[in-house]
Amino acid sequence: MHLSEEIGSRLQEERKRCGMTQLQLAEALGISKRTQANYESGSSDATASYLSNVSVQFNFDVPYILTGRRTTLALDSLNELEDRIVQQYRSIPEDDQRAIRRFVKALADDVVKGSI
């Protein structure tokens, strides 16, 4: 699969996540259904203004669309440092992730008990 097709596939995935048809999304963005279909099939590359619009209006995860990697920043719940920590956590082996979870839980338990 070529990059344009991969991007198109992820764009389609984000649209479906929002519960929209190609026609509904196209109408909401003021583009033709054919343009939307071309973006999703990879026969045309989505423009920067299009990607900006779907990000702002529908909270599409544009970094995911372009790279295939989800970002927690799309949720507007983490700052950049926190997002980096999450990405690093996701990159380590499962056993190490469990150890980190135990450590963080122990710290949080200590805070609740008032010992920190």
Q: What is the tens place of the pLDDT at every residue in 97-111?
A: 999 999 999 999 988
Does the pLDDT at position 73 exceed 70?
A: no
Q: Which amino acid is at 94?
A: E
Q: What is the pTM of this model?
A: 0.62
Task: Check: CB of residue 56 under 8 Å from CB of residue 16.
Answer: no
Alpha helices in 3-93 (DSSP H): 3-17, 22-29, 33-41, 48-58, 62-67, 80-90
CATH code for the structural domain at 3-70: 1.10.260.40
- Given a contact cutoff of 8 angstroms between Cβ atoms, the answer to whether 45 and 56 are in contact is no
Report DSSP state, residue 32.
-
Provide the greatest CA pair distance for the chain: 62
Domain boundaries, the chain: 3-70, 80-113
- The confidence band for 6, taking pLDDT boundaries of 50, 70 and 90, is very high
Q: Provide mean pLDDT across the span 54-79.
A: 81
State residue 19's pLDDT score: 92
Q: Is it the case that residue 15 has pLDDT exceeding 70?
A: yes
